[in-house]
């Protein structure tokens, strides 16, 4: 079992390529370095995607995310870079990466980047109502 960071992204076949389905991942331990000060930046990454032929393998995603720990990156650059590399590896119908960086100098930064497969459009949303314990109006990703 590998215990070192890696830039390799592994995939596996989509188990249901005949339908659009939404995969949501929360990565609460993302770190990189500020390219100006060298101090650590911390973020929670929210990855949402609709796969085409392949899905991202979780262990390789964890090691890939870990590979940024000692890399100096601006928030906007690292968010777009991760999205581009994940989209290149999986070629999804749709992918959105939201990077919510923790406060630095009194400022929270959130960067949202999206990828859409050419010609793909989402099916219309179906509102089935919310259960009493669920939030309303904020759960739809598309």
**Is 41 labeled as catalytic in the residue annotation?**
yes
Which CATH number does the domain housing residue 81 bear? 3.30.1130.10
Residue 11 in domain: no
The burial class, CB within 10 Å (0-12 / 13-18 / 19+), for 139 is exposed
Residue 33 in domain: yes
* Separation in Å, CA 67 to CA 6, 60, 87, 88, 124: 6, 11, 17, 17, 37
> How far is the C-alpha of 129 from the C-alpha of 124, rounded, in Å?
15
Q: What is the pLDDT, as a whole number, of residue 136?
A: 53
Residue 16 above 80 pLDDT?
Answer: yes
Number of domains making up the chain: 1
Range of the domain at 49: 21-116
Pairing label, strands 11-13, 54-56: antiparallel
Residue 134 in domain: no
Cα of first residue to Cα of last residue in the chain, in angstroms, is 36
Nearest to 120 by CA among 20, 13, 23: 20
Q: What is the pLDDT, as a whole number, of residue 49?
A: 97
Residue 86 in domain: yes
Query: pLDDT tens digit string along 109-129?
Result: 999 999 999 998 888 878 887
Query: pLDDT tens digit string along 52-63?
Result: 999 999 999 999
Catalytic residue among 10, 20, 34, 73: 34
> How far is the C-alpha of 5 from the C-alpha of 60, rounded, in Å?
9
Residue 8 in domain: no
Between 140 and 86, name the one with better pLDDT: 86
Q: What is the pLDDT, as a whole number, of residue 94?
A: 96
Residue 3 above 90 pLDDT?
Answer: no
Residue 124 in domain: no
* Strand positions, DSSP E, 14-106: 23-33, 40-50, 54-56, 94-104
Residue 137 in domain: no
Beta-ladder partners of 112? 98
**What does pTM read for this prediction?**
0.85
**Is 55 labeled as catalytic in the residue annotation?**
no
């Amino acid at each position: 079992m590998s215990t070192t960071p890696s830039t390799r992204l592994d995939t596996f076949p989509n188990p249901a390529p005949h339908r659009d389905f939404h995969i949501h991942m929360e990565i609460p331990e993302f770190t990189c370095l500020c390219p100006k000060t060298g101090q650590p930046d911390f973020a929670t990454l929210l990855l949402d995607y609709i796969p085409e032929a392949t899905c991202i393998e979780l262990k390789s995603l964890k090691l890939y995310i870990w590979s940024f720990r000692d890399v100096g990156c601006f928030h906007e650059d690292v968010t777009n870079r991760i999205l581009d590399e994940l989209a290149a590896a999986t070629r999804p119908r749709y992918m959105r990466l939201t990077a919510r960086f923790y406060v630095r100098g009194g400022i929270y930064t959130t960067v949202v980047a999206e990828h859409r497969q050419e010609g793909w459009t989402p099916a219309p949303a179906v509102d089935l109502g919310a259960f009493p314990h669920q939030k309303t109006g904020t759960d739809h990703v598309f």
